[in-house]
Amino acid sequence: MPKRRPDHVPTRSCAVCRNPRAKREMTRLVRTADGSVVRDDTGRQAGRGTYLCHDPACRDQTTAAAAIKRALGAEPAPSALAFEVNDAAK
């Protein structure tokens, strides 16, 4: 079995701006089996996922909702887009 590379940092692209960033610096949203879109704070929830970066322009609710609908094919729940003020500072 190959060894893990200690310098490897997984990257994901933001659904809104499409810029690649470190996976741990982004918020994951998941379409669950019942079709609802929820925030995944653990990063391990089952389902189709997409990521949003912490840029304030990407956190705009109308822009984010359109990008999430395009990426996941489902409307996000309003609670999934209710980002806390301290989330933007991460």
CATH of the domain at 70: 3.30.1230.10
The number of folded domains in the chain is 1
Residue 4 lies in a domain: no
pLDDT digits (tens, 9 = 90+) for 65-90: 999 999 999 999 888 888 765 454 55
Mean pLDDT computed over every residue of the chain: 89
**Cα–Cα dist 56/75, whole Å:** 21
Sheet of 37-40, strands arranged across: 37-40, 27-31, 48-52
pTM: 0.84
Tell me which residue range forms the domain holding 68.
Answer: 11-85
